[in-house]
Structure 1
């Protein structure tokens, strides 16, 4: 018989409508429903569950899904504990993120094997478990996850029509003009007249990088100008929009291959 060991850890997301949990459990859950979309990643062991398509099994590396109001249960496979990460998305957040009128309202498979989706889920959990970062970065990650899930496993593919380059140019201009100011993916999407996922795809297709990556590059360039003006590094980090000097140093080093301090000593020794 499976052990009844049961542990649940909640992870703060800072995003309304997004919950994240990690679970290790030998418990069997009775049939129940959620009022959210669920995306889970099995990391150890396996689970057998009942769903609208019958019994399904999921093992380590597989992804489990559930739609709002969908009846399901869950029990460990082979009498062992299973471990999994779980995201729950409010339907409103899904609609705001990918444009529900362009997407299926349901994920069609309760258990699936998808290496791309697997990687996106792991990256998002690692992002939540790591040091705090920009809200824009977190928005990009969960929108990419949702868009990928619905486009690959929804009952209808997302409308992938791209917006005009003019609207993407507006977004780029906003990031160029004020990189030090915080902005959300929602604000950028509204500016372009797109869903968040559509903006993310369109911007990345046009420029080769995400809005968050582009914003970081613009902040680094602003920091370089401020360093050249003789401004202290701690103040430079704040004025360039970084959360702290350490955050600036990591981004600066990735872009230029040396830290802000070394850059100053090499090019502006006085």
Structure 2
């Protein structure tokens, strides 16, 4: 369930599900708490297990998956931040410092941060008419300030920097029916080298990457009120039924249900 926050660039999501999420990414920063049950997930930061009371995080573009422990349902509350909002809050915590930030741990067993997250979630998801802007900003800073004191671990250098050109092409034209040969030409590599280097660099194949981009675009369009058929076309799906199948596999719900709760 997506809840209104009254804050631009911030989404609050409450979920209860046994769905197995395939490898995917978000365009936003995410931080939440497992309220009941447990989850096992894998990303570039390794495979981790989170149980009730644990804090979970994800960075924009980070490939990850998620499955319930022992197949049982788990309940979680998440806040998703646009990168611009995170940069603004980081400036508030560290005036004059670089706005570069990333969550360093996919799972944290920290009661204070978990309590701050749940308090912020309650404060923010009550609605703009009840939650004054000052109280919401205060809750967000109290949640994020301790995490922003942790120095980020250095990112491992990409082994294939030229493959970024292929990714940029997919980012700029997610709706296009690009071929592996076109991506290879952009990167200056063979088709096999491109496939292998892209997967090593970004944790998923080029096709999986562009399908994730289409899903993210469709979600944003639906949130903005775009009709489902138009959202499917604009995001690059073959048709609305194609988008519906992809949504069900990725998120455990259909675009129509997502539209209702957005």
List aligned pairs for 1:110-121, cutoff 5 A.
Answer: 110-121=106-117
Name the residue aligned to 1:151: 149
Following superposition, the deviation at residue 78 of structure 1 comes to 1.3
Check the 8 A contact 1:109/1:153 in 2, yes or no: no
Structure 2 residue matching 1:142: 3-state secondary structure: helix
Check the 8 A contact 1:107/1:155 in 2, yes or no: no
Check the 8 A contact 2:79/2:121 in 1, yes or no: no
> Higher Cα Rg: structure 1 or 2?
1
Structure 1 residue matching 2:66: 3-state secondary structure: strand
Q: 4+ runs of 1 displaced by more than 6 Å?
A: none
Cα gap change, 1:141 to 1:119, in 2 (>3 Å): same
In 2, Cα distance between the equivalents of 1:123 and 1:14?
16
In 1, Cα distance between the equivalents of 2:120 and 2:47?
29
Following superposition, the deviation at residue 106 of structure 1 comes to 1.3
In 2, Cα distance between the equivalents of 1:67 and 1:105?
9
Name the residue aligned to 1:126: 122
Name the residue aligned to 2:83: 91
Cα gap change, 1:21 to 1:105, in 2 (>3 Å): same
1:77 and 2:73 aligned:
no
Structure 1 residue matching 2:6: 3-state secondary structure: coil
In 2, Cα distance between the equivalents of 1:129 and 1:16?
13
In 2, Cα distance between the equivalents of 1:140 and 1:19?
17
Structure 2 residue matching 1:49: 3-state secondary structure: strand
Q: 31, 34, 37: which is aligned to 1:42?
A: 34
Following superposition, the deviation at residue 92 of structure 1 comes to 0.4
Q: Deviations over 1:60-104 (max 9, x none)?
A: 000110001100000000120000001100110011112284465
Following superposition, the deviation at residue 129 of structure 1 comes to 4.5
In angstroms, what is the RMSD of aligned CA positions? 1.9
Name the residue aligned to 2:56: 64
Following superposition, the deviation at residue 126 of structure 1 comes to 1.9
Check the 8 A contact 1:103/1:150 in 2, yes or no: no
Following superposition, the deviation at residue 152 of structure 1 comes to 3.6
User: Quick one: higher RCO (CA 8 Å, sep 6+), 1 or 2?
Assistant: 2
Structure 2 residue matching 1:57: 3-state secondary structure: strand
TM-score where L is the length of structure 2: 0.53
In 2, Cα distance between the equivalents of 1:82 and 1:153?
31
In 2, Cα distance between the equivalents of 1:117 and 1:20?
17
In 1, Cα distance between the equivalents of 2:99 and 2:26?
20
Cα gap change, 1:115 to 1:48, in 2 (>3 Å): same
Q: 94, 102, 105: which is aligned to 2:101?
A: 105
Q: Deviations over 1:170-193 (max 9, x none)?
A: xxxxxxxxxxxxxxxxxxxxxxxx
Structure 1 residue matching 2:149: 3-state secondary structure: helix
Name the residue aligned to 1:221: none
Following superposition, the deviation at residue 127 of structure 1 comes to 1.4
Check the 8 A contact 1:47/1:57 in 2, yes or no: yes
Check the 8 A contact 2:6/2:124 in 1, yes or no: no
Check the 8 A contact 1:103/1:154 in 2, yes or no: no
- Segments of structure 2 that go 5 or more residues without pairing to the other structure are 155-262
Farther off after superposition, 115-124 or 104-113 = 104-113
